Chain A
Amino acid sequence: MIGLTNTVKLSRFYKLYMYLMKKTIAVIFGGQSAEHDVSIITAHIPIIQSLLASGQFTVLPIYIAKNGCWYSDPEMNRLAFFKDPEFESSLKGRKKIQILFDDGLKIIWPGITKKVASVDIVFPAMHGTFGEDGSLMGLLRMANVAFVGCDLSSSAVAMDKVLTKQVLAAEGIPVVPYVWFTHDDWKHDKQSWVDKVSQLAFPVFVKPVHLGSSIAITKVREKEHLGHALELAFHYDNKVLIEQSVENLVEVTLPIMGNERLELAQIEQPLNKSDFFDFNNKYLSGGKNSGVNSQYSELPAKITPELSQAVRDLGKQAYRILGCSGIARVDFLIDGQCNNIYVNEVNTLPGSLYHHNWRSAGVSGVELVTKLITLAEEKFKKQKNITHTFNSEILKQLGGPKLG
């Protein structure tokens, strides 16, 4: 029995030690975007769930409400909190948090019993506007805190479907022929834009440039229906992309993880019920607690080994060209008859991190999030070695009697 008592005592010390050594991970989710709700799912399944399951981290959930207010409460670590239909009204009674840049990121719960928590690493889980477009990353860079996933520039480029194509095409990556214009361009000279679109082979896809999760995308078969599709797209974005549809389409996607050395998940083929993989297919038809839909996809995709290899190579190239880090997912369009492969877009925060795919590839949720955190730390350490400031004499020289 003595042996056991000692072990128990030791394990108490160990527990305390572990508690003190535990890194605090802030998971930021929600946000003012069309994908607010999807973000809540991604944050919980798998991110928070796996961080907690690992037992290695203290998890600080940071929820940004639809009105832009920031909240943090241990209760928000449970997905059930957000499933409660009353949760939005319950926010009114809660303290909003403040953030402090103090050579790192600190969270403050203001008031008489003021509480401060410092964040070691941020795990962004915000899709779409402000989250996936690089805005949040800019904020985190300024806070000088390590964060998981792609940086500002790659996020900003990947968020703009046109910019993505331009950057990839410049590096010789095959992309589908396209036309783009802004709302103002369209209003001022509809006919010339219709003419330009007419040079593409119909059917075409009309897409808002910045939106993820396939929101407001329309397949247009005839020129006459263009106006309606554009109206819908301009409702969500000021810039619109019209791209030629690939015939005999085989759509595949490849999640990739890493900074310099890349690890690939499995090539996945979404099995569309409708003409393309839209928001409802992606998120709503999935199984219970699976996060992103996994039942409506072929995993691994049933394509030839040669095609698979080409997809993997192109995926790695696209990831590198865009400067991705941590994790991203590259989407491809394949013409099933002539086996032409096009890189379609890059998603810097795959819904639910595509954890079902990683799991199938032999990477568990816990392994996925711990790897991503290690990658974030590595990237942060590297950036720290780059000097951003230098001492200049310019201010001193500016002063003095000349000004007087």
Chain B
Amino acid sequence: MIRHWLTRYHLRYPRSLAYMLQASEYNITDYIDWYRNTENFSQVEIRKSFVKSAKSNVVLVSIWLTMFCLYLLAVSFIWLISKPLNYFAVAIFVFLAPFILPYLLIIPMVVIKLFQYPVEWQILKKAKQKISFHRGLKIAIAGSFGKTSMREILKTVLSQGKRVAAAPHSYNTPLGISKFIETLDGSEDIVIFELGEYYPGDIDKLCKIIHPDIGVITGINEAHLKKFKTLERTIETIFELSKYVSPQKLYVNAESELAGKRAAGEYIKYNRAGVKDWKVTKPVTGLDGTSFFLENGSNAIQLHSSLLGLHQVGPLALGVEIATQAGLTLSQAQEGIAKTVPFEHRLQPSKDVSDVVTLDDSYNGNPDGVTAVIEFLSTLKDRRRFYVTPGLVEMGSKTRQIHQLIGKKLAEAGIEKVVLIKNSVTPFIGQGLRESHYRGEVLWFDDSLSAFSALPSLTVKGDVVLLQNDWSDQYR
């Protein structure tokens, strides 16, 4: 306890603060949240570490400067205050300095932001202009989850007959999207954007730059609930997209209860039963991928994708729908679907020499994704299944409820081994498992790394290991 407390007086402390600022993308609220939840400041850089860049160096220097000013002030008390109180004041101030420092840093952060603002404004203006003259079809994807999979499906399928550009995942903020627009050469037939939402108004800001032709809402849930406070605010933020595309061009995933309900009869819904006139029949899924038939009166095609799980059927069907809208032939769409493969860290299978299949789903940290994955695991009956998770982050007031439900679903699916990482949320999964009379084995590990290194010693031939979600240093 005292040892943790003393880490604030360590020479590494300023660097730790700089890292925390950098890792929380210089978001003051996130940084202060993190600071308040931290006890040991010598161990904040666990997964990643401080990356030196122009900005981070400026930040680090300003932290040292602030620190220096604080101590200078402390020493000046010797002369400013009369004896013998002055020495006492110096001691108190030196003692308090590391506690004041993190809050004092908000000032240089604001100053840096003030300098950045006009530069960023210029970049945004340029991007806005450029994209408004772009001839391509613009597709915007919004939602609490499933955006990246949707983007990859569309990109793969549409590329069968069109020139497609898609913004990478991290380019989902106004600045990021502007930077992506800068890379377009104007010859693209289709441009796909992923819209990131962290606070109300975010989707609005992005749509004002892009002015999309087609919109897709992949689903809504508790992701980032801590920032949105209420689910209603999340829903309204994501549906800001509906103001910028016609109702006949906005596709909403009806498998997400919140999104489906909000869409009501207004927009076009898609799910594993189909989209518009397309009806899905005979869906099958397994470790080799997912297959189904798609029919619309006159046409019928058989589709196979390497994506795992029946929750992918809806997005895949939508891929075919948008492809035909964009002018691709059915066989092109069919070939495109055949080329879709699991994206990195999203239910991505790999097999080791001992025939142990690892499903890397470490980028999936949302309740709907988790439900879909457990549903998929429940279909794999002839293999022993390991479910490894540190739980989900940013679930706000729903933390307890969501994790208990995960426990319940795991118990119902009859997952043989549940591997939990000790932290503030996994006890709720444990509770959910107990309450549902879980019959398998629960294995606890102090951290993800020790769990990962233990897995090869725990598994045997034929086992399936699912790695669900991965926490960054910010969360405990």
Q: Contact residues of A with B, CB < 8 Å?
A: 3-4, 7-8, 46, 49-50, 52-55, 287, 289-290, 294-295, 356, 359-366
Contacts and interface: CB of A to CB of B under 8 A. Distances in A.
A54 B460 CA distance: 14
A46 B453 CA distance: 11
A366 B459 CA distance: 9
B324 interface: no
B453 A364 contact: no
Contacts of B459: 359, 364
Nearest to A365: B457
A395 B461 CA distance: 62
Interface in B391-447: 427-428, 430-431, 443, 445
Contacts of B2: none
Contacts of B453: 49, 53
B457 A356 contact: no
Interface string B316-359: 00000000000000000000000000000000000001110000
25 contacts: A4-B428, A7-B431, A46-B457, A49-B453, A49-B454, A49-B456, A52-B450, A52-B454, A53-B455, A53-B457, A53-B458, A54-B457, A359-B354, A359-B459, A359-B461, A360-B354, A360-B355, A360-B460, A361-B460, A362-B460, A362-B461, A365-B456, A365-B457, A365-B458, A366-B454
Interface residues of B, number: 19
Closest 8 CB pairs of A and B: A53-B454, A365-B457, A53-B457, A50-B457, A360-B461, A364-B460, A362-B460, A366-B457
A356 B353 CA distance: 9
B294 to A, nearest CB: 40
A4 B445 CA distance: 18
Contact of A364 (B355, B427, B431, B457): B457
Contacts of A55: 443, 445
Contacts of B445: 55
Contacts of B460: 359-364
Contacts of A361: 460-461
Nearest to A286: B353
A7 B435 CA distance: 14
A364 B427 CA distance: 27
A64 to B, nearest CB: 24
Contacts of B428: 4
Contact of A294 (B354, B427, B455): B354
Interface of A is mostly: helix
A8 B456 CA distance: 28
A74 to B, nearest CB: 14
B411 to A, nearest CB: 17
A364 B461 CA distance: 9
A258 B371 CA distance: 43
B427 A8 contact: yes
Contacts of A4: 427-428, 431
Contacts of A289: 456
A364 B353 contact: no
- Between A7, A356, A365, the greatest number of chain B beta carbons within 10 A of the residue's beta carbon is seen for A365
Contact of A366 (B353, B431, B450, B458): B458
A32 B454 CA distance: 30
Given A294-B353, A295-B353, A7 B457 contact: no
Contacts of A356: 353-354
Nearest to B354: A359
Nearest to A369: B457
A287 B427 contact: no
Contacts of A7: 427, 430-431
B466 to A, nearest CB: 17
Most buried by B among A52, A53, A289, A360: A53
Given A53-B457, A55-B443, A55-B445, 9 more contacts: A53-B453, A53-B454, A54-B457, A359-B461, A360-B461, A361-B460, A362-B461, A364-B459, A365-B456
Most buried by A among B353, B450, B454, B458: B353
B286 to A, nearest CB: 22
Candidate in A287, A295, A356, A360 with the most chain B CB atoms within 10 angstroms: A360
Contacts of B427: 4, 7-8
Interface centre among A49, A52, A359 (most CB of B within 10 A): A359
A360 to B, nearest CB: 4
Interface string B384-396: 0000000000000
B435 to A, nearest CB: 11
Contacts of A364: 457-460
A53 B349 CA distance: 23
A287 B457 contact: no
Nearest to A360: B461
B457 A49 contact: yes
